[in-house]
Amino acid sequence: MTPSKRLAPALVLFLVPVAAWAAWLGWDQHRDVHPDGSVSGPYEAWQVIGLLLTLLVAVGRAASRRHVTAAVLGTTAGLTAAACYDWSDDSSGLFVIGAGLVAVASLVATAAVATVIAAVTGHGRESHPRATGE
């Protein structure tokens, strides 16, 4: 397999979370001020759920097609890059901690999801003719 064919799934799985972040979260930058003075946001629960479901479909599809490593690393890198870009205007610098948490959580979650899907679909390992005796 050529290097470009190996990198293509990872590149696609890097771009999907970036686009999904922009579609679900990137447009909403307003914090909600409640009557008691407390502040929440900028994201609503439905936006985050939409992002997670979009990523679940992408990771599931890739894992079911034997692209487990690309699903995990590409999705994690894309989601982390999107968070860094979106939150980088935070003057306190705390966005780095948030982006780090996104990186760790997405790595763990995508690894778990991709592993389960690959195992369920029977694509956990690529079969080789020599290994199977074919």
* Contact yes or no for 72/111 (Cβ under 8 A): yes
59: CB partners within 8 A, 6+ apart: 13, 71, 72, 75, 110, 113, 114, 117
In whole angstroms, give the CA distance from residue 5 to residue 124: 19
* Contact yes or no for 78/16 (Cβ under 8 A): yes
Give the residue with greater pLDDT, 1 vs 49: 49
Write down the pLDDT at residue 44: 86
Encode pLDDT of 98-123 as tens digits: 999 999 999 999 999 999 999 998 86
Write down the pLDDT at residue 10: 92
Encode pLDDT of 59-86 as tens digits: 999 999 999 999 999 999 999 999 999 9
Q: Look at 11-20, 31-40, 75-84, 124-133 and tell me which has the smallest mean pLDDT.
A: 124-133
pLDDT at 128 over 50: no
> pLDDT band at residue 6, thresholds of 50, 70 and 90?
confident
Write down the pLDDT at residue 93: 81
pLDDT at 38 over 50: yes
Any idea where the domains of the chain sit in the sequence?
Answer: 3-132
> pLDDT band at residue 125, thresholds of 50, 70 and 90?
low
